[in-house]
Structure formats: structure tokens, C-alpha cells
Amino acid sequence: MVNHLPIRELINCGGKLIDLSEPRIMAIMNVTPDSFFQGSRLDSEQAILEKAGKSLEEGASFLDIGGVSTRPGASEVSLTEELDRVLPAITLIKNNFPEAIISIDSWRAEVVKAAVIAGASMVNDISGGKFDSQMWETVGALDVPYIFMHTSGKPNEMQRNTDYKNVSLDICDFFGANIQTLLDHGIKDIILDPGFGFGKTIQQNYQLLHDLPGFRILQCPLLVGLSRKSMIHKVLEISPHEALNGTTAVHMISLLNGASILRVHDVKEANECIRVFSTYHKTNKVSTND
């Protein structure tokens, strides 16, 4: 059962107040040729527009644009190449869906700044500020929400760094030690992402999933990125392409344990999961109050 410590439920995305008291969906938009799930790769303007339109229609609140694969073992791409991938995609989406709320998935401060100028209004930093010393200052100056994720290292090395005393307590301590610094940099809206799959074993990922309610002590909304990841498809001994049913299962566990945002490949199915959860949650709340 999730405890009831207050969470900062309103975030400001480019002047739009988004209420996270009801779970929200972030659609994954990969403008990369090598993302781990082939079905998420967008290699043309038509593919980008079709994915954006379908995601918004099916219930996504945010579109997360990424130009660098962050799968375990992925190679780094140049700054120029990343900019060349994400900026045209952001401009294309904003021109065709001006009300869309776009998140830029990048650990580079220069990419983040250019993306926000182009129309993004949220930053998703898989490095938690570790890979670019200018990130927090940049995000604070841009005055956009910041998804603060934990990882143990860059994608090409992170799975060699999975030694924790207690994975959940260590990550909670990491967040707690840095939240005030983020606030001091002017970052007002902080969303925490424990970083499933980023420098964690399968067992550690499930421990984190079990322990999500404990992160409420930090009083920030939680984002979970579990969609089709190895913690699902390896357990089921299937491919990422076959892992939708398992993804829905862990999404429901995440919602029951207090997640505010699901970052997903499959928006329609995530939305259905949230609708079932919300009905269950409201019914249970009414019964408790009777």
C-alpha cells in the first residue's frame, strides 16, 4: 500500500500546468537507428508525424524525443549528429501539433538548450547531471521540468557497475543528496526516475519496483521507464517485440506503487492500464471512506 506523503503534483511545461495527481503517459519517440526495440525507431518525417499523432490521440501527455540510443552497450554519437536528429523532429512536431508537450531526452546541456529553443518544454536526463557539468545550470535557466534519473555510468559501461549495498536505499540517498542542489540551481519541477535497466541487474530492477513506495519520502513525482525492457523479456524468455503483455503487468505494479508517469512504447495499452488502475483506485478510496 502506498503511503500518503504529499507529492508536488503540478508541473509547469512551457506555461501549461500539468496535473500529475492522475497518472500520465510519456510516449517514446526515438529518432535513432539503433534503439533496442526496433518498433520504436522513427526514420522519416512521415514516421515521426504518424507516431506523434497516434500517441497524442491515444492519450500521451508528453512526447519524449531522443537522438541517442541509451540501451546497455550503446556507443556514443557526436553532438552534431544528435542535434541533427532531434531538432528537425521537434520542429516538425511543433509545426503540426503545436499543443504537444515535448520532452528532450538528452544528457548534453547544449542539446537541451537548443531543443527547448526549438519547442521542447521538459528535459529527460538519463545521466542525472553526471555526464555534463552544465546541465543543472542550463535547465534552471530554461525554467523547465527536469526528469532526474539515476544511472551507474554511460550506456557502454553501466552494466559493469551494479554493486550496491541496497539498490533502493542507495538510489533514494542519491536523489535525497541532490534535490536541494537542483532547487538551488532554479529547477522548480523535479521528477524522479530510478533508472530501471541503467546499471541494475534483473533482480535489482524488481527490488526497485517493489520499493517504489519508499521514494515518496522525497515528495517528488516518479517516472518509470520499464517498457519492453530486459527485466521483462529476459524473465519471460521472449524478445522485446513480444514483451507487451509483461510490460502491462509491471506498469500496473508501478501504478499501485505510486508512479506518476509511465514512459512507454505502446500508448494505447498504457492508457488502458491507467484507466483500469484509476477505476480500482477510486473505488477503493470510496470504500475506505465509507
Residue tagged active-site, from 160, 228, 229, 285: 229
* Long-range contacts of residues 102-105, Cβ cutoff 8 Å, at least 24 apart: 102/62, 102/63, 102/64, 102/65, 103/26, 103/62, 103/63, 103/64, 103/65, 103/147, 104/64, 104/65, 104/66, 105/64, 105/65, 105/66, 105/67, 105/68, 105/70
Q: Evaluate if residue 4 carries a pLDDT over 60.
A: no
Cβ 40 vs Cβ 26: under 8 Å: no
- Domains (ranges, CATH) in the chain? 17-289 (3.20.20.20)
Q: Please name the residues in contact with 99: beta carbons below 8 A apart, sequence gap of 6 or more.
A: none
Q: Evaluate if residue 8 carries a pLDDT over 90.
A: no
> Could you tell me the pLDDT band of residue 282, with boundaries at 50, 70 and 90?
confident
Query: What's the pTM?
Result: 0.91
Closest by alpha carbon to 192, among 206, 178, 210?
A: 178
Q: What percent of the chain has pLDDT over 90?
A: 81
Does the annotation mark 41 as catalytic?
Answer: no
Residue tagged active-site, from 263, 268, 282, 285: 263
What integer pLDDT is reported at residue 1 of this predicted model? 38
Q: Please name the residues in contact with 62: beta carbons below 8 A apart, sequence gap of 6 or more.
A: 13, 24, 25, 26, 27, 101, 102, 103, 122, 261
**Residue 85 Cα to chain centre, angstroms:** 19
Q: Evaluate if residue 2 carries a pLDDT over 50.
A: no
> What is the per-residue pLDDT across 154-167, written as a single tens digit (0 to 9) for each?
766 667 667 889 99
> What is the per-residue pLDDT across 79-136, written as a single tens digit (0 to 9) for each?
999 999 999 999 999 999 999 999 999 999 999 999 999 999 999 999 999 999 999 9
Does the annotation mark 51 as catalytic?
Answer: no
> What is the per-residue pLDDT across 30-89, written as a single tens digit (0 to 9) for each?
998 756 555 566 879 999 999 999 999 999 999 999 999 776 666 778 999 999 999 999
